[in-house]
Amino acid sequence: MLGGTFSGLKPFELSILVKGKDGELLLAEPGKPTLELYLREGRIFCARVGKDPLSWAELVTRCATFFRAREVAFLFLKGVRPVHCSLILDRDAERLVQEAAELSPPS
């Protein structure tokens, strides 16, 4: 288990959290619902907020908001598998970081 907070999440920090990982990554801004990412060997297997699955476009948009947030909490749980994913993404995690960074230019 690895957890902490970032004062403004940077793309390279998210990249470190997802690269080659296998497990569950939780990301949250204060007062907002938690994003759950399930990773397999550095690929996004599925993502959801609560019980609601996210499409790839929704996930990219949500991650872009983390790059603009003042504070982002994270928790990585190694080896955790989703109980049920109704929308399988199976996309490269590095691609997520890249696309989200493009939506959220530096201020």
Residue 106 has pLDDT above 70, yes or no: no
Number of domains observed in the structure of the chain: 1
Name the residue range of residue 64's domain.
Answer: 2-103
Res. 37: pLDDT tops 90: yes
Residue 83 DSSP label? S
Strands 91-92 and 43-49: antiparallel
Q: Which is more confident, 17 or 60?
A: 60
Q: What's the CA gap between 69 and 19, in Å, rounded?
A: 22
pLDDT tens for residues 40-86? 998 999 999 988 999 999 999 999 998 888 899 999 999 998 888 88
